[in-house]
Each structure stands twice: as C-alpha cells, then as structure tokens.
C-alpha cells in the first residue's frame, strides 16, 4: 500500500493510470501475489484506486496529496526539521527568549529614521500610496544600490538590478528561473536552514560541501562539480550563516575557477554584508556578475517589517526574472516599503547606525563567548563581525535534545543539525550574540545540559 501511495504522491501514477499487474508488482516488491491483492483491495476501500472488471486497478485521483515540505526530504526528527527554528522564532510571543533566532532585537534597529520615513510617506504623492510599482521596482532605490556596488568595485547597470519582496523570494525566483525538479544544487554543510527548505519546495537534489573557516572545502567543491554535475551553488561568502566565517581570497578564486570550468551558476546571498568591519572577498565582484548572482535585503540591518530584497545579475536573466515575478506576485516589493528604505539609506544616519551596530555587536560577541565558556560551550571560530556564534557543546551533549528541553522553558535554540545536510552537527548550536542579554538563557541551557 505504501509503495502505491508513494507512486501517487510522487506523480509516478496519475489519475486514470492503471496500477501494475498483481503478478508483476508482487515480483517487483518481493512479496506474494496475495499480499498485493490484499493491498489493492484496501486501497480500493479507501477510494484511492478503483477496480474495473477484467481490466485491473486504476488510480481515482481522489486522493492526490498536497506538497508537504516537512515530508519531502530525508526523514528527520521533528525538531531538527529546517522549519523548526523559523516557525518557533517567528511565532514566539514576547515572553519567549530567542538566542537561536536570526535577527537583531527590534530596539537595535534604526526606528527613529523609520518613523521619520513614515511621516514623510504620509505627505507623498497619491501614486506612491496607492499605485503599483514598475516591474523592476523603485528607480531611486536601484540607483542607491548601484552606487554602493560601484563603491565596492562592482560596476553594474540599471538593467542588472531587480527589487524583490524579500531576500528569500529573490533566491526563490532565481531557482524558478534556473532549476527544474530533479536538478542538483550544492550548499555548504552547515548552511542556512531555509536554503534547504526552499530547495525542497523546488524538488531538487541537495548536496552538501563541508565548510571550513575560509569557505567551502575547495577540493570537495571541485570534486562535487565533476561527480554531482550540479546546476547551482548557493552560499554566503561574508559572515556565513551559521558559522560567521568569511571566504578567503584563495578559496574564492578556486571556487569561481571551478564554476567557470563546469558551467556552474552561483547565488551569493550577501545579506550580512553591512555587518562586516571591512569588506572580504566576494564571488560576485571577482566574477563581475556573469555567472554569479548577488542577492541581498535590508531585513537584518534596517527593518524586517519593511519587506524588500534585490537581485543583481546578467541583464538577460533579470529580464526573465521580471516576467517570473509578474507571473507569480504581480510585481515586486511595496512602493511604500521601497520609498521607506530609500529614505533611510539616503539619509546620512544609516552609515552611523551601522557603525554603532558593529561596535555593539563586537562587545556582544565577546560577552557571549565569556558567558558560554564556563558552560563548556566554545566557538568554532571567532567571527570578524555579525551576530552569529557557531559553538561546540561539551562532549556527550546533543543539541537537538537540548533545543527540545529549552523550548519547554520558552527558550528557542538553533540546534546544529537543522543547518547540516549530512546531519553531522549534533554537537553544535548557533547562538545570536545580540539575543543573549537575558541571563535566564544561560541558566536554562546549563540546567538542560545537566539533565544529560
């Protein structure tokens, strides 16, 4: 029964299709024909198939199951599902502590500038308040981005930028443009858990590349291009999620060279760029936006409530992405959002805000390391910026078990295996240094570890 159900779920058998003959299916499954007859009869009782006299069993189509992302990947314990951390964090009420979440507390954000921007919007033209945006999004914000790219040494033109509803949606659109079900995609191991969730929705095969303190293991990467023939590689080069590591110039060059040789496209998710004290190597800059696509957003540095992301890529790809965004969302981000972001970025205050955030985060990372060490929890590396600390637990501790126990105490942790395709990070936790100011986090974690 399970085998037939799976074939229906995977669309191997569609409505109206005949099931395999009893004799043939018994041979395939290595069971007796009477077992197959019994299974087919039960499926008929459930309305999933229908017998036609003398002609066999047919799929009714009454029970095609919906896409359940949580069931699509390899089986996992429920709490290391890639959705666990996001859903627990996003839906947590104010009493829940979130040292595992992926964003700054609201009071770290440039709220005064946002309030000024909202007041200015209240005086904007009617068209800004109630009309659709153009298909590529606010020209003012795209110009601001082009200026920032030029400052980094990345020349680009207006037809190489598309604004999107979020950074995640930017990657989703790229997957829609470039991937088909069954394609292979490389990610870092560990990598941001939502890359896995997103790729499952595209029904592609995910292959992990071991991650080192200077980027992906270049030899493993080169070998995977030969063996796995991937279509895409998705990565964070700067302040990698979850490790906080940044790409070295040597690894950047090897990765891009191998990608060029094998015709691989790379998505570089640059969402943590503004947290860097000084710029580290970027694949998009080395490559000049040829086979590397840059993705970014303002959710981590400016506001997660004002949804907006962007894609910088080859003009012909941007043209295809515009069509896809019209088809699937009827355009990109809200003009209200893009006006608000442009007003904050254009004001001189944003640079000052980020200077302050970087200093505050440097202190927070140091404090966090000092308070975790007495618990036997040690950072894998000391990141040069950002809020993530990828930490190893004392011997014998399992981060999944720990996360479950701490959730019972209203503390959301980010257990290592939600980030790991190979499920080899059970002894790691990702901490957010900006979300550790309540001492209860440390006592809850200590007590949870003591129960092992």
Q: Which of residues 146-185 bind its own copies (CB under 8 A)?
A: 165-169, 172, 176-178, 180-183
Among 35, 86, 214, 248, binds its own copies (CB under 8 A): 86
Answer yes or no whether residue 205 interacts with its own copies by CB under 8 A. Answer: no
Toward its own copies, which CB reaches closer, 62 or 382?
Answer: 62
Of the candidates 264, 294, 290, 274, the one whose C-alpha atom is nearest the C-alpha of residue 282 is: 294
- Contact between 443 and 406 under an 8 Å Cβ cutoff? The reply is no
Determine which residue in the list 330, 348, 370, 374 makes contact with its own copies, applying CB under 8 A: 330
Q: Is 143 in the site for its own copies (CB under 8 A)?
A: no
Residue 152 near residue 145 (C-beta atoms within 8 A): no
Number of Cβ within 10 Å of residue 48's Cβ equals: 21
Q: For residues 383 and 277, give the distance between their C-alpha atoms in angstroms, rounded to a whole number.
A: 11
Residues facing residue 189 across a β-bridge: 210
Q: Which of 305/382 has CB closer to its own copies? A: 305
The one among 2, 54, 130, 451 contacting its own copies by CB under 8 A:
130
Burial classification of residue 145, based on how many CB atoms lie within 10 Å of its CB (0-12 exposed, 13-18 middle, 19 or more buried): buried
Task: Name the pairing type of β-strands 232-235 and 265-269.
Answer: parallel
Please, which residue, 27 or 62, has the CB nearer to its own copies?
Answer: 62
Question: Applying CB under 8 A, does 198 fall inside the site for its own copies?
Answer: yes
When asked if residue 281 is in the footprint of its own copies (CB under 8 A), the reply is no
Task: Single out the segment in contact with its own copies by CB under 8 A; choices: 240-248, 315-323, 370-378, 393-401.
Answer: 315-323
Q: Which residues of 168-184 are buried (b: 16+ CB within 10 A; e: fewer)?
A: bbbbbbbbbbbbeeebb
The least CB distance from residue 310 to its own copies, in Å, is 14
Instruction: Assess contact for 387 and 104: CB atoms under 8 A.
Output: yes
Work out whether 109 is an interface residue with its own copies (CB under 8 A).
yes
Which tokens hold the place of 313? 């890529």
Identify which range of 22-30, 314-322, 355-363, 407-415 contacts its own copies by CB under 8 A.
314-322
Neighbours of 250 (CB within 10 A): 12
Of positions 3, 6, 23, 70, contacts its own copies by CB under 8 A: 70
Stretch of 18-26, 141-149, 325-333, 418-426 contacting its own copies, by CB under 8 A = 325-333
> What is the spatial distance between Cα 242 and Cα 288, in angstroms, rounded to a whole number?
26
Site size toward its own copies (CB under 8 A) is: 90
Q: Which of residues 408-437 bind its own copies (CB under 8 A)?
A: none
Pick out residues in 225-244 that bind its own copies (CB under 8 A): 229, 231
Least spacing, CB of residue 392 vs its own copies, in Å: 28
Classified as helix, coil or strand, 209 is strand
* Among positions 327, 370, 396, 451, the unique one binding its own copies when judged by CB under 8 A: 327
Quick check: 322 binds its own copies (CB under 8 A)? Answer: yes
Nearer to its own copies, 129 or 382 (CB): 129
Among 49, 79, 186, 200, binds its own copies (CB under 8 A): 200
Helix, coil or strand: residue 285: helix
Rounded to an integer, what distance in angstroms lies between the CA atom of residue 286 and that of residue 191?
22
> Cβ 370 to its own copies, closest distance in Å?
28
Cα separation, 339 vs 332, in Å, equals 13
447 Cβ neighbours under 8 A, 6+ residues apart: 409
Should residue 73 be labelled a site residue for its own copies when binding is judged by CB under 8 A?
no
Interface of this chain with its own copies, residues 351 to 390, rule: CB under 8 A: none
């Amino acid at each position: 029964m399970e085998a037939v159900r799976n074939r229906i779920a995977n669309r191997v058998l569609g409505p109206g299709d005949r099931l395999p003959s009893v004799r043939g299916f018994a041979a395939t499954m290595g069971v007796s024909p009477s077992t197959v007859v019994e299974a087919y009869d039960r499926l008929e009782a459930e309305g999933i198939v229908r017998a036609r006299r003398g002609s066999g069993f047919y799929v009714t189509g009454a029970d095609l199951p919906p896409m359940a992302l949580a069931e699509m990947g390899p089986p996992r314990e429920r709490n290391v599902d890639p959705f666990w951390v996001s859903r627990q964090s996003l839906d947590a009420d104010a009493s829940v502590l979130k040292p595992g979440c992926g964003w700054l507390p609201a009071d770290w954000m440039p709220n005064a500038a946002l309030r000024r921007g909202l007041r200015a919007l209240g005086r904007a033209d009617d068209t800004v308040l109630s009309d659709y945006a153009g298909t590529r999004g606010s020209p003012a914000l795209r110009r601001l981005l082009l200026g920032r790219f030029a400052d980094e040494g990345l020349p680009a033109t207006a037809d190489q930028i598309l604004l999107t509803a979020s950074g995640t949606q930017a990657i989703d659109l790229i997957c829609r443009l470039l991937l088909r079900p069954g394609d292979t995609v490389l990610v870092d191991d560990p990598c941001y858990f939502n890359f896995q969730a997103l790729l499952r929705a595209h029904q592609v095969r995910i292959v992990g590349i071991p991650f080192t303190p200077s980027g992906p293991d270049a030899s493993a990467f080169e070998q995977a291009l030969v063996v796995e023939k991937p279509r895409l590689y998705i990565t964070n080069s700067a302040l990698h999620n979850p490790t906080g590591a940044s790409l070295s110039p040597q690894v950047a060059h090897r990765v891009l060279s191998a990608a060029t040789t094998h015709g691989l496209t790379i998505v570089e998710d640059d969402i943590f760029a503004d947290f860097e004290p000084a710029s580290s190597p970027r694949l998009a800059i080395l490559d000049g936006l040829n086979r590397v696509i840059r993705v970014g957003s303002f959710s981590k540095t400016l506001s997660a409530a004002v949804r907006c992301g962007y894609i910088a890529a080859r003009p012909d790809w941007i043209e295809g992405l515009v069509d896809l965004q019209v088809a699937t969302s009827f355009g990109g981000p809200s003009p209200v959002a893009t006006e608000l972001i442009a007003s904050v970025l254009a004001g001189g205050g944003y640079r000052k805000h980020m200077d302050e955030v970087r200093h505050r985060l440097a202190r927070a990372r140091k404090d966090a390391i000092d308070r975790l060490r007495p618990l036997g929890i040690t950072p894998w590396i000391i990141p040069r910026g950002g809020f993530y600390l990828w930490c190893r637990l004392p011997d014998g501790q399992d981060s999944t078990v720990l996360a479950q126990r701490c959730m019972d105490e209203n503390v959301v942790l980010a257990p290592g295996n939600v980030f790991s395709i190979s499920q080899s990070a059970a002894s790691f936790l990702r901490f957010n240094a900006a979300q550790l100011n309540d001492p209860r986090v440390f006592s809850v974690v200590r007590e949870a570890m003591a129960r092992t």
